[in-house]
Structure 1
């Protein structure tokens, strides 16, 4: 069983080349774009590191964004600005060596808690993500994410107020 250090920001010296989550597109994004996006300030990548080997067990990225009001269910559109501010959970991946150990869940909890805490300062309707397939959709569904009915990209969202109601960002 891996012993993980607390979540921390990606560092330029982190070994991104040996990371392998089993999805080449996610591996390549991490290797080629994660650090550059962080330098540019367009997203922040947070990693979990194995305390023994120093290997990156997983990563998650957050940034801000917006969605068109029409993508929300009709009941959620009322009295909302257009577009609606959101947090974007752009990437979440776990290295094969650490899969099945709760790393994805830990990274998601970190991202959702961070989003709730930051939303108290800048305001946001929810956390949006674009799952790659049905298995990933199922993972997000277990944490309260719902499909946006009007979004052609089949994004999923969880509302900040629902996260707060479920204890994210408390105490």
Structure 2
């Protein structure tokens, strides 16, 4: 698989993307571009193979309250909101399931968080999982397999 991950561009054809989750598809088709290019509230990265969009991840800066962390994690951190990278949306095309696209996008987001930590400060990646138990288990499995410490908030 010759997968590339890059920033969403204005002229990318998002209309053909189908993840099988209408809310994620609607976000990608209608709002990912607006949020990135007009409102500047998040950036969407796409996984591309032969000009086909196989998946996307949307990230934005965020913060987490120190009290949301387990006590053993709080010891050496300042007691005010801590900068994080919010993983707001992640979806894989139905045609690309079980090919490692979701894992690649998650690894990419973790790499962004590490760069953010070095360049401007970041204590981690905050994964926002709204109401999808299957998605929650994907993130936890993926993060554990990559030896990333997990805290369920």
Q: Place the TM-score, normalised by the shorter chain, in its bin.
A: 0.7 to 0.9
1:126 equivalent in structure 2: 124
Aligned CA RMSD, in angstroms, stands at 1.4
Segments of 4+ moved more than 6 angstroms: none
Whole-angstrom distance in 2 between the partners of 1:19 and 1:88: 23
* 1:26 equivalent in structure 2: 24
Quote the Cα distance in structure 1 between the aligned partners of 2:35 and 2:18: 20
Length-normalised TM-score, structure 1: 0.78
Show structure 1 runs of 5+ residues with no match: 149-171
Q: 1:59 aligns with which of 56, 60, 63?
A: 56
Match of 1:152 in 2: none
91, 99, 109: which one pairs with 1:93?
91
What's the CA shift for 1:81? 3.1
Q: Which deviations, in whole Å up to 9, do the C-alpha atoms of 1:59-116 show, x marking residues without a partner?
A: 0111110111221112222342311111101111001011111100111111111210
SS of equivalent residue, structure 2 residue 103: helix
Structure-2-length-normalised TM-score: 0.87
The alignment covers a number of residue pairs equal to 144
Alpha-carbon distance in 2 for matches of 1:89, 1:130: 6
Say which SS state the counterpart of residue 147 (structure 1) adopts.
Answer: coil
Q: Deviations over 1:152-171 (max 9, x none)?
A: xxxxxxxxxxxxxxxxxxxx
Work out which of the residue numbers 70, 73, 82 in structure 2 matches 1:73: 70
Q: 1:146 aligns with which of 130, 144, 151?
A: 151
- Cα distance in 1, alignment partners of residues 48 and 9 from structure 2: 11
For 2:58, what is the secondary structure of its paired residue? Answer: strand
